[in-house]
């Protein structure tokens, strides 16, 4: 069965394997498996591959948490000192809680660009076009 871009997006947003939809990508809270236990697709594409997930996590923290907080402080709806404290705590905790999603979303974006590389679509799963 060919995996469509719609499948890739739905699976990525659900923190699932982009190839088979399996939901066991992680061992524990912070350890991504080297390969999907359901289909065997390699998840660790190579050294530095997941730098993109760090950028996603950083962007989500700034745009989804810190910017709205800054706007609320700027409008005077939240006291400045409370806003600073909340911003510091949130800037440390939000990336921790968003870690799994950022890894999964990076796989999603990667295979959205290269759906032919998914093993279910006849590819190697290694993204040889970019490596």
Name the one residue in this structure whose structure tokens are 């295979």: 111
Stretch 51-80: mean pLDDT: 94
- Does the global pTM surpass 0.85? no
pLDDT of residue 129: 44
Q: Name the DSSP letter for residue 115.
A: G
Q: Model confidence over 83-118: pLDDT tens digits?
A: 999 999 999 999 999 999 999 999 999 999 989 989
Q: Note whether 104 and 15 are within 8 A (CB).
A: yes
The chain-wide mean pLDDT, for the chain, equals 89
Per-residue confidence band for 29, with pLDDT thresholds at 50, 70 and 90: confident
Nearest to 18 by CA among 91, 131, 99, 113: 113
């Amino acid at each position: 069965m060919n995996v469509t871009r719609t499948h890739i997006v739905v699976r990525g947003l659900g923190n699932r394997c982009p190839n088979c939809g399996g939901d066991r990508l992680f061992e524990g809270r912070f350890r991504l498996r080297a390969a999907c236990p359901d289909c065997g697709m390699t998840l660790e594409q190579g050294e530095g591959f997941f730098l993109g997930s760090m950028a996603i996590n950083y962007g989500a923290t700034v745009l989804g948490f810190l910017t709205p907080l800054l706007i609320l402080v700027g409008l005077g709806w939240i006291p400045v000192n409370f806003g600073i404290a909340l911003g510091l705590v949130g800037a440390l905790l939000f990336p921790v809680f968003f870690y799994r999603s950022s890894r999964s979303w990076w796989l999603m974006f990667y295979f959205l660009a290269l759906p032919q590389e998914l093993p279910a679509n006849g590819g190697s799963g290694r993204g040889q076009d970019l490596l």
